[in-house]
Amino acid sequence: MRPLGVTPEQCFIGGVWTEGASGETLPLTNPSDGQALCAIARGSAEDIDRAVQAAEGAMQGAWGRSTAVERSRILYKIGQLVLDNIDALAELEALDVGKPLKQARADVVALARYMEFYAGAADKIHGATIPYMDGYTVYTLRQPHGVTGHIVPWNYPMQIIGRSVGAALAMGNACVLKPAEEACLTALCFAELAHRAGLPAGALNVVPGLGAEAGAALAAHEGVHHISFTGSVGVGKLIQQSAGENVVPVTLELGGKSPQLVFDDADIEAALPFLVNAGIQNAGQTCSASSRILVQRGVYDEVVAKMADRYAALRAGPAMDDLDVGPLVSTRQKDIVEGFLKQGADLTIAAQGQVVSDAPAGGAYVAPTLFEAVNADHALAQDEIFGPVQVIIPFDTEQEALAIANGTKYGLVASVWSANGARQMRLAKALRAGQVFINNYGAGGGVELPFGGTGLSGHGREKGFEALYGFSTLKTVAALHG
């Protein structure tokens, strides 16, 4: 397999494709059928060190001196090349992570949109002049951190690369990217397209490999000046410790247990597609998946019945068949989700979707499952499952709904379904979340909308202009001239 001419067993360092130092590789599996797909490089600390040095070299060279307009043009061109290759990239993602083709295509479009957005934003981040004492001129400069490390997960590789690497490059940083070991192919292709678009050598380096090896080496490297990590809470804590050792800033985009609050006065028909889709998109393997549906008693039976109808019609099958739900990313993830389903043995299942009968036996399929009348303290209502599983929790009052919504350790996103404007505003303020949606969920995932969490969901913001502040540092210049 040589997608876009790339040999997946190689790393991309200093503008060239190169073998990993150890020569060892890791196998990639197609989760739709359990068959071997190809091998990728098992990057090591030595490869990470080479990549960090290449990035530092880029900062010391032409890339470090590039203007915002020059970076903008390159990013825009990368976005164009991404769109030109939408079929190849979407197919690759479908094979690699089991994402149904339509969803994989949406990820390619999002990657291109990030490039376009940050291309447009690169020259619109300005410093300020500060009125000060007589005889002084004071101003601020927004400058890149230098070398930025990007550790991304397997669930939305293209989108997460787009939002973090795109913003970092726009601000003039040089990036070292460690994709997830389950999902490297589109990351490697992205590096190739960036190279073709004219990104100078060393400005983007990609080292695949295991988290505990290449990932840990990147997080701990003293030559890295900022770390952006998207992934699990457990690894996020390790990354923060490494960043603490080197005293560098870190952005953590971690998990969630995001609620949708449905009140008696909500437009149920409008809510229904959002209620279900937010739980089953990407087989529920979405940090901002809505795994908790809180429903007021007056519409409780109606919502359960209508969600159950939709669940009963859901079909899970191979990514290339482009059904409602694909396989989970791996049999390991399937085992984790099945473990949660066992913990729900005491609960009432409102409805389940079907795994299609001709789905390959080796695929990592789980039937989408909807539980009803779940207690807010139950493990399935507290822990991130990362599979196509939702729980419905009844409530009586707004106060109770808020307490349940805020009653987990996470705080990523939340939504309010209600026609009452005052309630919408009250809850938007009070909900513990980085994004709140009113009468929708996800707002189409807009690249313009700052995103990130609180509590165990992490800290720092990516997406939108906000990310550009995170990927830069502010310098104050005070000139005394009399």
Q: Which is nearer to ligand NAD, 265 or 448 (CB)?
A: 448
In Å, what is the CA distance from 349 to each residue of 32, 155, 257, 340, 346?
A: 26, 26, 19, 13, 9
Question: Cβ of 267: how many Cβ atoms within 10 Å?
Answer: 12
Choose one: 43-51, 177-185, 397-405, 413-421; the region binding ligand NAD (CB under 6 A): 177-185
Q: Contact with ligand NAD (CB under 6 A): which of 114, 154, 395, 471?
A: 154
> According to CB under 6 A, which one of 32, 186, 230, 291 is a site residue for ligand NAD?
230
Which phi-psi region, left, alpha or beta, contains residue 275 (left: φ > 0; alpha: ψ -120 to 50)?
alpha
Query: Strands across the sheet with 129-130, in order?
Result: 129-130, 136-144, 472-480
From 116, 181, 192, 253, active-site residue: 253
Q: What single-letter amino acid sits at 74? A: I
Which H helix or E strand runs over 272?
Answer: helix 268-280
Distance CA 202, CA 221 (A): 16
Q: Which of residues 360-389 bind ligand NAD (CB under 6 A)?
A: 384, 386
Specify whether the CB–CB gap between 104 and 82 falls below 8 A. Answer: no
Of 240 and 343, nearer to ligand NAD (C-beta) is 240
Q: x/- contact string, 11-50, with ligand NAD (CB under 6 A)?
A: ----------------------------------------
Cβ proximity to ligand NAD, 155 vs 369, nearer residue: 155
CA 213 from chain centre, in angstroms, equals 21
153 or 363: CB nearest ligand NAD: 153
Nearest to ligand NAD of 283, 304 (CB atom): 283
**Do the strands 315-316 and 458-459 form a parallel or antiparallel pair, or are they unpaired?**
unpaired
Q: Which is nearer to ligand NAD, 31 or 200 (CB)?
A: 31
Q: CA separation (Å) from 243 to 46, 172, 289, 470, 475? A: 19, 21, 28, 15, 21
SS (H, E, C) 212-270: HHHHHHHHHCCCCCEEEEECCHHHHHHHHHHHHHHCCCEEEECCCCCEEEECCCCCHHH
Q: For residues 387 and 369, give the distance between their C-alpha atoms in angstroms, rounded to a whole number.
A: 9
CB of 232 to ligand NAD, least distance (A): 3
Q: Residues in contact with ligand NAD, total (CB under 6 A)?
A: 28
Which 441-470 residues touch ligand NAD, going by CB under 6 A? Answer: 458
Query: What does the DSSP 8-state code read for residue 200?
Result: P
Pick the closest to residue 111 from 154, 37, 164, 184 (CA basis).
164
Stretch that binds ligand NAD, among 51-59, 247-255, 262-270, 298-306 (CB under 6 A): 247-255
Q: Does residue 216 touch ligand NAD according to CB under 6 A?
A: yes
HSE-up of residue 190 (Cα within 13 Å, Cβ side) = 35
Q: How many CB atoms lie within 10 A of CB 220?
A: 19
Site string (112-151) toward ligand NAD, x via CB under 6 A = ---------------------------------------x
Of residues 3, 166, 215, 394, which one binds ligand NAD by CB under 6 A?
Answer: 215
Of 40, 287, 401, 447, the residue at the interface with ligand NAD (CB under 6 A) is: 287
Shortest Å distance, C-beta 178 to ligand NAD: 6
Binding ligand NAD by CB under 6 A: which of 212, 373, 379, 474?
212
Q: Is 253 a catalytic residue?
A: yes
Give the footprint of ligand NAD on residues 312-331 (CB under 6 A). Answer: none
Q: Which of 181, 287, 398, 462 is catalytic?
A: 287
287 is catalytic: yes
The answer to whether 165 and 243 are in contact (CB under 8 A) is no
Burial degree of 261 (CB within 10 A; 0-12, 13-18, 19+) = buried
Q: What is the dihedral of CA 261, 460, 253, 59, to 10 degrees?
A: 150
| CA distance linking residue 218 with residue 212, whole number of Å | 10
Contact with ligand NAD (CB under 6 A) among 50, 145, 178, 334: 178
Rounded-to-integer distance, Cα 411 and Cα 446, Å = 19
Min CB(89)–ligand NAD separation in Å: 18
Nearest approach, Cβ of 160 to ligand NAD (angstroms)? Answer: 6
Give, as ranges, the residues between 59 and 118 that touch ligand NAD (CB under 6 A). Answer: none
Q: Rule CB under 6 A: is residue 232 a binding residue for ligand NAD?
A: yes
Tokens for 13, please give them: 């360092």
Under the criterion CB under 6 A, does residue 238 sit at the interface with ligand NAD? Answer: yes
415: its two tokens: 């939504």
Which residues here bind ligand NAD, judged by CB under 6 A? 151-156, 178, 180-181, 211-212, 215-216, 219, 230-232, 235, 238-239, 253-256, 287, 384, 386, 458
Q: Which positions are annotated as active-site residues?
A: 253, 287
